[in-house]
Amino acid sequence: MLWPRKERVSMKIRIVSEDPAQLEVGWLVVGMFEDQPDPPSWLSETPGADTIRRLIASRDLSGGLGEASALHAMLGPSSGSMLVVGLGPSDRFGMGEAFDSGVLVGKRLGGRSRESVGLVVPEVGARAPELASAMLQGVLVGTSGPGLAKSEPARFPFQELRVCVPPGSSSELGQIEQTLGRAEILGRAINLARELVNLPPGRKTPSLLADRIRTEAGLADLTVTIWDQDRIRRERFGGLLGVSAGSDEPPAFVILDWLGAADPQAPALALVGKGITFDSGGLSLKPSASMEDMKADMSGAAIVTAAMTAIARLELPVNVRAFLPLAENMTGGRAMKLGDVLTMRNGKTVEVMNTDAEGRLILADALSYAAEQAPSRIIDLATLTGSCMVALGPKVAGLFSNDETTAQAVQSAAEAVGERLWPLPMDVDFRESLKSPVADLKNVGSKWGGASIAGKFLEEFVAGRPWAHLDIAGPAWADSDSSTRDAGGTGCFVRTLVRLAEEGVTP
């Protein structure tokens, strides 16, 4: 049975240019920087100005990122309440900080139904439009909680959100209006990725997830093709078949197409997302504690799906194709065994020496097929290795590439939207430990440099095409709740992929 599609509750969003102190809303959200000695200028003549100054002086309002303080009747006896949100140091307030601040607002005020909320755009000059867009994306994410299976909702979208540009900043009004629609599309795409990741594994088997992707893609006017197990077998996807052999649930392979360029035959940007809907480790069985979040092992596929819906809804003039291999990695009687040899789509053979290194096997087929389509570039996203988390921690993705221009394009897109990644080496010596006496490759190598070895394995299947691999094992999932993040799927790098498409990666 397919989990019911989550109802999309619409939040009415509009932009206004007026004195924020006169804005008639239930809550007014005001950002303050850590190095800001006085409240914003428009607050200076209000009854609460002196109170706010005293709180700043006593450091009860520090302006630290992630801090929020509720103040009441600050604008007058009949006014609504004010939420003062810390923005951190002004010289370090970028897209990532703006997004996180928006999430904080959504989480703090979304715990109950709110009729109207006003969000005052920070006084940041020419950066106001893009930072307001990032904050709005964050608000949309913050008001959408992870509680898909709760009998009562724990988070509510605001009935109306007014994005307020203070008088004197009217030159930015038109630009902010232009970014507002884009921000709403991106926020909802991030929430789609989170929702797919947070679905229980029994509700998103490969076939069910493929059906859900078909529905979402159809709503965004994407072209969808889904291969069943027979077609996958005919197409010689030995890795996908091998990984899924231990499950009663058959695999699926999903192709999404957006041909928005003037020439639909022009080379497309290829996006590949790992889609292991549950990873037990196979016969190389994971400990129970390590399986608890393995419903998230399809984060790459969820993120790519969400990014594709945003690209289509934005009607970007580019060609982009997505390739999503979907499978369960289980321990049934037909499960692949250590020492088995699989033949991949491109004809290379792989000796399986660890069934818990399964993601690279299904990606090998998908990358091979994507490379055959002569794309301009290939970008893959996968929750691939714990080694990457050991190296970079839980909030930074590892970047691996065979092409400096492609790596720089991905890094530039991530920096532009405030998402964090770090280049890791993929030198030729990492290939040495993948040598097998009986096949072209092993699927694992030395215990040292595991993330780089995994990247080197994937490189064998891109046919020399410009390619970048993002190991998102850390940032795709949050173990715990915080002021700017919900526990569960994060929807990371949806913004990066959309920015990459917007920057015209495809010719």
Q: What is the pLDDT along the chain (507 residues), one digit of tens a residue?
A: 444 555 556 799 998 888 888 888 999 999 999 988 888 888 877 877 888 888 888 888 889 999 999 988 777 655 689 999 999 999 999 999 999 999 999 999 999 999 999 999 888 878 888 999 999 999 999 999 888 788 888 899 999 999 998 666 555 677 778 888 999 999 999 999 999 999 999 999 999 999 999 999 999 999 999 999 999 999 999 999 999 999 999 999 999 999 999 999 999 999 999 999 999 999 999 999 999 999 999 999 999 999 999 999 999 999 999 999 999 999 999 999 999 999 999 999 999 999 999 999 999 999 999 999 999 999 999 999 999 999 999 999 999 999 999 999 999 999 999 999 999 999 999 999 999 999 999 999 999 999 999 999 999 999 999 999 999 999 999 999 999 999 999 999 999 999 999 997 443
Candidate list 108, 236, 286, 431, residue with the active-site label: 286
State the alpha helices, DSSP H only, in 165-253: 173-198, 206-219, 229-234, 238-244
Enter the tokens of residue 163: 């994005």
Q: Are strands 488-489 and 477-478 parallel, antiparallel or unpaired?
A: antiparallel
Domain 199-502 adopts which CATH fold? Aminopeptidase (3.40.630)
The 8 Å CB, 24+ separation contacts for 347-352 are 348/440, 348/441, 348/460, 348/461, 349/439, 349/440, 349/441, 350/239, 350/436, 350/439, 350/440, 350/441, 350/442, 350/443, 351/436, 351/438, 351/439, 351/441, 351/442, 351/443, 352/242, 352/442, 352/443
Q: Are strands 27-32 and 117-120 parallel, antiparallel or unpaired?
A: parallel
Known active-site residue 12:
no
Beta bridge partners of residue 188, listed in sequence order: none
Angle between helices 173-198 and 494-502 (to 10 degrees): 130
Candidate list 114, 313, 360, 442, residue with the active-site label: 360
Alpha-carbon span 450 to 350, nearest angstrom: 17
Where do the CATH 3.40.630.10 domains begin and end in the chain? 199-502
Q: Kind and range of the H or E element at 344?
A: none
DSSP classification of residue 183 = H
408 phi and psi angles, rounded to 5 deg: -65, -35
Known active-site residue 286:
yes
Beta bridge partners of residue 71, listed in sequence order: 82
Contact (Cβ atoms closer than 8 angstroms) between residue 25 and residue 12? no
Q: Where are the beta strands (DSSP E) in 87-179?
A: 117-120, 160-164
Angle CA 192–196–199, to nearest 5: 135
**Other CB atoms within 10 Å distance of the CB of residue 420:** 17
Contact (Cβ atoms closer than 8 angstroms) between residue 241 and residue 329? no
214 phi and psi angles, rounded to 5 deg: -60, -45
Where do the CATH 3.40.220.10 domains begin and end in the chain? 12-193
Write the single-letter amino acid at 372: E
Write the single-letter amino acid at 160: E
The whole-number pLDDT of residue 495 equals 98
The whole-number pLDDT of residue 500 equals 97
CATH 3.40.220.10 fits 12-193, yes or no: yes
Contact (Cβ atoms closer than 8 angstroms) between residue 244 and residue 227? no
